[in-house]
Structure 1
């Protein structure tokens, strides 16, 4: 099979039929073998009914319905687990991603041998203040932190080799950072393609300004996981050891000074009356806690089990 098109969605009943017909037109024109995987992330409108009807009319349509809204990352994770195509395309269901871009993305993966190609919505139709400027700041921070030189991490239109999606774990809200996850997994050939951005035709956006705050927090998380996710002792153990040593030598210094003054007849105060003693003691306690945090992190990594991250209500054609 040439293509698996994974489409996460939430309450997009107005656009699904039009999007399906558009994709089928492109697939037929280019003679691709394909499957369309609609991942209904707990929609409360008629989205699932439309997907079910499309699956009857088109055997290439498959659907997964979550019991409730688990988030875009979980929807992508479910789609990636079931995708069978040589190339996996992800796109949003709101018609802002153009299916006409799919053949070129496919060509970049198959003939130019990219592991992953990310879309870049260079010209956007969103509000400049509400989305464009925060998005530029977010993408700049993501580039500097991750080392992945992409201009648009948030673009939902991406293409992957099958082996890439089978070797990454998309959890939490890490869908923005799939290229970073791919790089961390060893897939270095990451490309970018300028794609058309279309104004939303139906409904309203499901993301508010909080996505940028959450995005920056997730960026810190993925930076930490990429650097220390498999060796937390290297960070917490190092910081804990440094703080403990500083506190220990500060305490040792206080005691030595106290003894010298006693032996030489100088007046002195109680050790417990010295503010530096409490600073040193606090440093030793925090250092011990950090060291234990790293130690426990190492134990958890060696004993953790995969957790169920979403509950599926119904599947079609799998």
Structure 2
């Protein structure tokens, strides 16, 4: 089964090279059939030039430029319309997500024939390195609210790093989120629409370069909107959007 990795990148010239090199090293060592699809989200630095240089070295790398509208969700959605694999992972450009965990996600999907594999940094075996204290508190509160509202046990819905089969991505369309709220839209729709999933521990490491693109003050209402949308679908749609077995 061919694996695609969609990586949104906005002004990630300092990080994207190390991220791609690490992915290629790990996935090639495992002799996996894969592609890396980087979505340059109209970067203002030299991210595009770095990608062109990397492409000359790695046949598995492809990149496209999302000229607009821009934003994390738009960039990921742009990639999810263009990947070639049988399954697709969303990963960050700053190497906060481990390629070794990606292999674990893929092997779990293959072994259990799951429609999705979700990571959790906050279960036994998971870990975070240099996670900013305030963001960590907000993360745990937000995930607790999501669990309560949606009546689910999964405790890391906001984690962008997840793996989906192609038919799962098709099954959770249309996408609504233009920004980081896409990180909860995808898994919540997959869960409430009846796609099978496994949860495995993963690690997260704070970025070495640049600044996080997530602006918490700007995102609160957007997360709430998607959460309410998924709540309404779960309890009032009468199963109209559920996977048809």
Deviations 1:251-301 (A, max 9, x none): xxxxxxxxxxxxxxxxxxxxxxxxxxxxxxxxxxxxxxxxxxxxxxxxxxx
In the aligned structure 1, how far is the partner of 2:70 from the partner of 2:184? 16
CA RMSD after TM alignment: 2.0
Give 1:68-79 correspondences, 5 Å limit.
68=68, 70-79=70-79
In the aligned structure 2, how far is the partner of 1:25 from the partner of 1:68? 32
Give the equivalent residue in structure 1 for 2:206. Answer: 199
Give the C-alpha shift of residue 13 in structure 1.
0.7
Preserved contact between residue 138 and residue 216 of structure 1 (Cα < 8 Å): no
Deviations 1:42-91 (A, max 9, x none): 21111122122222322221112111452222222222222222221111
- Which is richer in helix? 1
Q: For residues 131 and 195 of structure 1, do their structure 2 counterparts lie closer, same or farther at Cα, with a shift above 3 Å needed?
A: same
1:143 has 2:147 as partner: yes
Give the C-alpha shift of residue 203 in structure 1.
0.6
Give the equivalent residue in structure 2 for 1:264. Answer: none
Give 1:123-202 correspondences, 5 Å limit.
123-124=127-128, 125-128=130-133, 130-169=134-173, 170-172=175-177, 173-187=181-195, 189-202=196-209
Give the equivalent residue in structure 2 for 1:2. Answer: 2
Question: 214, 219, 222: which one pairs with 2:230?
Answer: 222
1:27 has 2:35 as partner: no
Give 1:237-256 correspondences, 5 Å limit.
none
Q: For residues 229 and 71 of structure 1, do their structure 2 counterparts lie closer, same or farther at Cα, with a shift above 3 Å needed?
A: farther
SS of 1:223's equivalent? helix
Q: For residues 102 and 136 of structure 1, do their structure 2 counterparts lie closer, same or farther at Cα, with a shift above 3 Å needed?
A: same
Preserved contact between residue 91 and residue 157 of structure 1 (Cα < 8 Å): yes
Give the equivalent residue in structure 2 for 1:82. Answer: 82
Using structure 1 for the length normalisation, give the TM-score.
Answer: 0.67
SS of 2:171's equivalent? coil
> How many aligned positions are there?
229
Give the C-alpha shift of residue 183 in structure 1.
2.4
In the aligned structure 2, how far is the partner of 1:111 from the partner of 1:178? 22
**More displaced 10-residue stretch of structure 1: 192-201 or 144-153:** 144-153
What are structure 2's unaligned runs of at least 5 residues?
A: 240-245
Q: For residues 225 and 73 of structure 1, do their structure 2 counterparts lie closer, same or farther at Cα, with a shift above 3 Å needed?
A: farther
Larger Rg: 1
In the aligned structure 2, how far is the partner of 1:127 from the partner of 1:48? 29
In the aligned structure 1, how far is the partner of 2:132 from the partner of 2:236? 37
Deviations 1:8-59 (A, max 9, x none): 1211110111111100101111000110000112211111221222223222
Using structure 2 for the length normalisation, give the TM-score.
Answer: 0.85
Q: For residues 58 and 230 of structure 1, do their structure 2 counterparts lie closer, same or farther at Cα, with a shift above 3 Å needed?
A: farther
Q: For residues 230 and 13 of structure 1, do their structure 2 counterparts lie closer, same or farther at Cα, with a shift above 3 Å needed?
A: farther
